[in-house]
Structure 1
Amino acid sequence: MAVVTIHDHELDSDIHNLYDVVIYSKQVKTLLTTCPSMVSSWISDVEKIHRRRLSRLIVGLDVEWRPSFSRYQNPVATLQICVGHRCLIFQLIHADSIPASLSDFLANANYSFVGVGIGADIEKLAEDHGLTVRNAVDLGDLAAREYDDPGMKNRGLKDLARIVRGMEIEKPKRITMGRWDNRWLTCEQVQYACVDAFVSFEIGKKLITGA
């Protein structure tokens, strides 16, 4: 099983914090925030870093919300996006507003947003927060074509990570089913959210570019 570690920078701020999540020796710089302007800065930084490949940018995407045990579904609490070794966890549920930069980023047709079961995630993002993801790509569908195996469409992230990337990851039920609407997420939640987005990015990069 992969050794995943997290370092909490413990910033003196009530709107953001920084973490270093190490996954298979790869350090992913992770920003957790409720602040729209910090989201805009993160997007700007990522687009500058990857300016030479903006015509074909790959973005790992995932969302989390507090589970409901009734017909009512709680709204999306967090949006996670990852490009390379940088991850953003935006606490939508506690944000005063959604920056136009994020709407524009998600609506960019040149960017491929990859995830497992991403169709349901982007539908919920649109319903709960009015965010539209223009070019969503389901990793199960990609893998089914790449491996010529229709059964891959039904594989979860854990299986795809192992098959495509040789990465063993954990998805503890107690975290999956946790309080994602809390104002302060735990280190375990931040690590979980980062791993999902980063691994989605890594799988997408392999299936789309072969790298």
Structure 2
Amino acid sequence: MNRCLLPLRLLRRLSSGFDAVYSIKESILIRLDQPIQQKEALKKFLACRDVVFAGVHVKEDIKILEDLGLQLKNATDLSELAASVLGKPQVGSYGARKLASHLGVLQLEPIRSPTCLSFAEWGSVQSAIGIECATIDAYAAYKIGKKLLEI
């Protein structure tokens, strides 16, 4: 079989050796417990053409992943896509929550905690807040992408 693993099978396979694997509808959020270079299954997963790595303002994240040796075959910056599809360049500057609200797919409060803005300290006591913020933003990105595909 030359196709990528189905998300459910992949989640089971990836979950060993990872600190946490979260599934949100058709989205997967992975928190690593080791350096990313040691994750062969993750490398194969992200290199699959059938997997879309999508998010709001993800160009920097994509560059970091590529610098770490991960090849992303199918990456999409939803902020740029929204600006193009809607013909409104200003929405390209919106964050995930504001863009989701603008599109009417979710009504979310703005980020109030500085922990949401940086995930460098995910091992700290505040990691639950960081995970919650990342999960909300991942779900917002899922809803944004789904809405943009309908337009």
TM-score by length of 1: 0.54
Structure 1 residue runs without a partner (length 5+): 1-42, 50-77
8 A Cα contact 1:85 1:198, kept in partner: no
Q: Which has the higher contact order (CA 8 A, sep 6+)?
A: 1
8 A Cα contact 2:79 2:92, kept in partner: yes
- 1:124 is displaced (CA, Å) by 0.9
**Pick aligned residue for 1:172 from 105, 108, 112:** 112
Q: Does 1:156 align with 2:95?
A: yes
Question: Which structure has more strand as a fraction of its residues?
Answer: 1
Distance 1:123 1:171, change over 3 A: same
Determine the structure 2 residue equivalent to 1:62.
none
Determine the structure 2 residue equivalent to 1:109.
49
SS of residue matched to 2:109: coil
- 1:81 is displaced (CA, Å) by 7.5
Task: Name the amino acid aligned to 2:82.
Answer: A
- 1:142 is displaced (CA, Å) by 1.4
Question: For residues 38 and 110 of structure 2, what CA distance do their matches in structure 1 show?
Answer: 31
Determine the structure 2 residue equivalent to 1:202.
143
Q: Does 1:135 align with 2:74?
A: yes
SS of residue matched to 1:180: coil
Question: For residues 174 and 45 of structure 1, what CA distance do their matches in structure 2 show?
Answer: 35
Structure 2 residue runs without a partner (length 5+): 11-18
Determine the structure 2 residue equivalent to 1:46.
7
8 A Cα contact 2:37 2:69, kept in partner: no
SS of residue matched to 2:38: coil
Report the identity percentage. 24
**Pick aligned residue for 1:144 from 83, 100, 108:** 83
TM-score by length of 2: 0.71
Moved more, 115-124 or 166-175: 166-175
Aligned length: 138
8 A Cα contact 2:27 2:138, kept in partner: no
Distance 1:150 1:87, change over 3 A: same
8 A Cα contact 2:100 2:140, kept in partner: yes
